[in-house]
Structure 1
Amino acid sequence: MRPWRALTWAGSAGAVALTAHSLLNARALRVPRLDPPPVAGRVSVLVPVRDEEDTVQECLTSLLDQVELPDYEVVVVDDASGDRTADVVEAVAAADERVRLVRSDGPPAGWLGKTHACHVLAEHATGEVLVFVDADVVLAPHAVSAAVDLLRGTGFDLVCPYPRQLALTWGERLVQPLLQWSWLTTLPLRRAEVSSRPSLAAANGQFLVVDAATYRRAGGHAAIRGEVLDDLALLRAVKAVGGRGGVADGTALATCRMYEGWDEVRAGYAKSLWSAFGSRPAAVAVGAGLALTYLVPPVAALGGSPVGALGYLAGVVGRYAAAERTGGRSVPDAFAHPASIAVLLGLLADSWRRKGRGELRWKGRTL
């Protein structure tokens, strides 16, 4: 029992410390202005799409409703969609000259689909600022101008206003809130903005704003052509050439339902989770740390340990605070935080298993 007590104490102490850190981060998280001034200069809003006929119309409608953008274009690259995505975009482009559709036959050898689509988008962009937006994102009318205002006001080269994540089914509700919770809990946000260390980085390609000159100096998406986590890789490339940036609070700027149901959650995380920590040993170490911090204490609490109960409650408070800060569902979901961590560890193992068997696929393509 003595080793188990030691593990309970260590896990609970870790949970308390990480929750305290997340509360500090919640105060430090940058918030874009809700009444930004008009943007000076040209802005290119860039949308990569593949089989998005159900979502792209709403996305484009929100992009065309942007305010305080005197001069902007919307460029859409259709990445060899097999559905009516291109037809939907063409209809929008025919009615509004700000929209242009570019067709792609798919990525050449050595490229992933999204990195290649983003590369093609950047080649067709004419703006001083590039705004990458995923097709399942819906922007508020002031979103782009607020994001550009934040980029320029902070002197950053890249900023990701993190959209409010919509999670409806049980699988989504267990897993998706961990996206914001993870960097709020573990990453020193203000230090990460200026640090060139690869480990101190957080980004989100759903809504990513980057200075065009810095983007090209960093090599753009051509420099990260084979990276599954392209958003994180792009931020690291920008930092490698002396740039700065990171995440911001995009709760009032954008919404995104990333996956619909458990099957999509599992497939989506399988394609990318293996690459999140750099190597298999690092993934094992992170998984062990998460289990120690967020699974051992609640198990101990079930056995009557007050220390374990403290650790469990610390995890719940951290999850609750992250949800409240980022517009997520806080109650009762926060109380299921240990279940969320257990599911995440299962997804991590599944991702590595699929990678080892060569079974990683996304939208009909082998990765």
Structure 2
Amino acid sequence: MVVDALALAALGGWLYLALAHGGFWRTGPGLPDAREPDEWPEVVAVVPARDEAAVLPETLPTLLGQRYPGAFRVVLVDDGSTDGTAETAASLAGGDPALAIVPATERPPGWAGKVWAMSEGVRAAGHPDFILFTDADIAYAPGTVERLVRAAVAGRRDLLSQMATLSTRTGWERVIVPAFVYFFAQLYPFRRVGRDGARTAAAAGGCMLVRRAVLERAGGLARIRGALIDDVALGRLLKRAGGRCRLDLGRDVASRRPYPRLADLWTMIARSAYHQLRYSPVLLAGTVAGLLLLYAVPPAATVAGLAAGPSGPGAPALGAGALAWAVMAATYVPMLRFYGLSPARAPALPLVALLYAAMTLDSARRHRAGRGGAWKGRTLSAPDETLSAPNKSGAADAPPATLE
């Protein structure tokens, strides 16, 4: 039967994912303990900010308050804000010389807005040993920059990135956010990102500590100037240049940006999912088919097997479908626990996956309607592929897109 074959295919997929896909489902220990370096390197944090006045009071003081033992400065790039972002930042700093506020100059053709703002920050930073690319909505626990540098120096990492803990205060955030991180880790297993010689490369844009010399050796941000998903592109660029990378999920950094409605989360994901698929209808069809096979088939086969008779002709579909569904749910439990949510939510993951499939299809629709990549008043059309880093990750391009 077709249902039996699909159920067996889904089970095979889940057995591979659970046992041989880089342990993607493990949330990991976070930043490792590391010894103090012989000499503390200079660090400059670069914060691209566009209309972020509302969130800065919750985040900028946590960055300026990092008692880092070495030289540490913050460059906030005001990227054409109209809400008083620069004035808010200056007021929060209270004259602290560690903060420099830089207005972004006019964006050249071919540059994505955020990457251009990052580039402006790099120019203003001078020549530090490390650049900490971070987002305006990210709050830092005390001592985080010190722990990042310790881990980067001791582990000889050229890119050390932490995925920020996202907000799960509202009902829809609790539904969508843990699955977003789970899907991201499935696409880019963190352990493979950190493995020398592995092709998988990625980063999380909220917190990326980068060795400046390696970034320059790789050709600088100009090499990824058209990238809408800048963090993954930067990870690929640095790893292709021989940089040693690490990506962790931890609680040292947290996003303070709320997504109270499903529409807010939907827009954040749909704006760049089709870009992640390189605007390819073939990849779009393959991605949706893959989501349906892995996430929709197991529960559907379970129900079909029960209906056909669990001790008769429905036994193969029931057995394979139920086992695949159980493996799927089991791999999701660690992420739910990381976010303090009940493991009882795990069996509902297929419904969330169907939402992601719909968001991906909507992303393609928006692109065809000329609204692809819309973010804070900007719309980015499909860039010239020569402007972006080639796809050398070794992982299939698929959602999720980056949340900002």
TM-score (norm 2): 0.83
Q: Does 1:302 find its partner at 2:303?
A: yes
Amino acid at match of 1:84: G
Which structure 2 residues correspond to residues 261-276 of structure 1 after superposition, within 5 A? 261-276=261-276
Q: Is the 8 A contact 1:34 1:142 kept in 2?
A: no
Q: 1:151 to 1:328 in 2, by over 3 A?
A: farther
How many angstroms does 1:75 deviate by?
Answer: 0.8
Does structure 1 retain, via aligned residues, the 8 Å contact 2:50–2:79?
yes
Q: How many Å separate the matches in 2 of 1:28 and 1:340?
A: 19
Match of 2:18 in 1: 19
The SS at the match of 2:23 is: helix
1:255 — aligned with what?
A: 254
Deviations 1:285-335 (A, max 9, x none): 2221121011100112223223212211211111112333x4453434323
Q: Counterpart of 1:338? A: 350
CA contact (8 A) 1:79 1:106 kept: no
Greater CA deviation, 58-67 or 115-124?
A: 58-67
Aligned to 1:364: 377
Structure 2 counterpart SS, 1:365: coil
**Residue 355 of structure 1: how far off its partner (Å):** 0.8
Q: Equivalents in 1 of 2:107, 2:22: separation in Å? A: 42
Unaligned runs of 5+ residues in structure 2 are 307-317, 381-404
Matching residue of 1:129 = 130
CA distance in 2, matches of 1:94, 1:242: 41
1:49 corresponds in structure 2 to: 49
- State the match for 1:205 in structure 2: 205
**Inter-partner Cα distance in structure 2 for 1:92 and 1:130:** 22
Residues 12 and 308 in structure 1, CA contact (< 8 A), matched pair in contact too: yes
Structure 1 unmatched ranges of 5 or more? none
Matched position secondary structure for 1:223: helix
How many Å separate the matches in 2 of 1:58 and 1:35? Answer: 29
For residues 24 and 297 of structure 2, the distance between their equivalents in structure 1, rounded to whole angstroms, comes to 25
Residue in 2 that maps onto 1:293? 294
Q: What per-residue deviation string (whole Å, max 9, x for no partner) do you get for residues 125-158 of structure 1? A: 1321000111111111121111122222222211
Q: How far 1:101 sits from its partner (Å)? A: 0.6
1:207 aligned partner, one-letter code: C
**2:315 pairs with 1:315:** no
Tell me the residue number matched to 2:224.
Answer: 224
Map 1:113-124 → 2, pairs under 5 A: 113-124=113-124
State the shift of 1:171 in Å. Answer: 3.1
Which residue is 2:159 aligned to?
158
Alpha-carbon offset, residue 162 of structure 1: 1.4
Is the alpha carbon distance of 1:329 and 1:22 closer, same or farther for their aligned partners in structure 2, counting shifts above 3 Å? Answer: farther
CA distance in 2 between partners of 1:220 and 1:330 (Å): 43
Q: Which moved more, 1:335-344 or 1:87-96?
A: 87-96
* Cross-structure match for 1:180: 181
CA distance in 2, matches of 1:101, 1:265: 30
**Deviation at residue 224 of structure 1 after TM alignment:** 1.0
Q: What's the CA shift for 1:28?
A: 9.0
Partner of 2:251, secondary structure, is: strand
> Structure 1 residues 10-19 or 127-136, which shifts more?
10-19
Query: Aligned AA for 1:294?
Result: Y
Alpha-carbon separation, structure 1, partners of 2:5 and 2:46: 52
Displacement of 1:219 after TM fit? 2.3
Task: Label 1:365 to 1:188 Cα distance change in 2 as closer, same or farther (>3 A).
Answer: closer
Cα distance in 2 for partners of 1:23, 1:192 equals: 9
Distance 1:328 1:342 in 2: 23
Following the alignment from structure 2 to structure 1, what is the Cα–Cα distance between the partners of residues 302 and 60? 49
Range moving further from structure 2, 164-173 or 297-306: 164-173
Identical-pair percentage: 30
Tell me the SS of whatever aligns to 2:289: helix
CA contact (8 A) 1:22 1:184 kept: no
- Greater Rg over alpha carbons, structure: 2
Q: What does residue 365 of structure 2 align with?
A: 353
Distance 2:106 2:272 in 1: 20
Tell whether 2:358 aligns with 1:329.
no
- Cα deviation digits, residues 322-354 of structure 1 (max 9, x gap): 333x44534343232011100000010001111
Q: CA deviation at 1:186?
A: 4.6
Task: Report whether the alignment pairs 1:146 with 2:159.
Answer: no
Aligned equivalents of 1:178, 1:331: Cα separation in 2: 13
Partners of 1:25 and 1:269 lie apart in 2 by 21
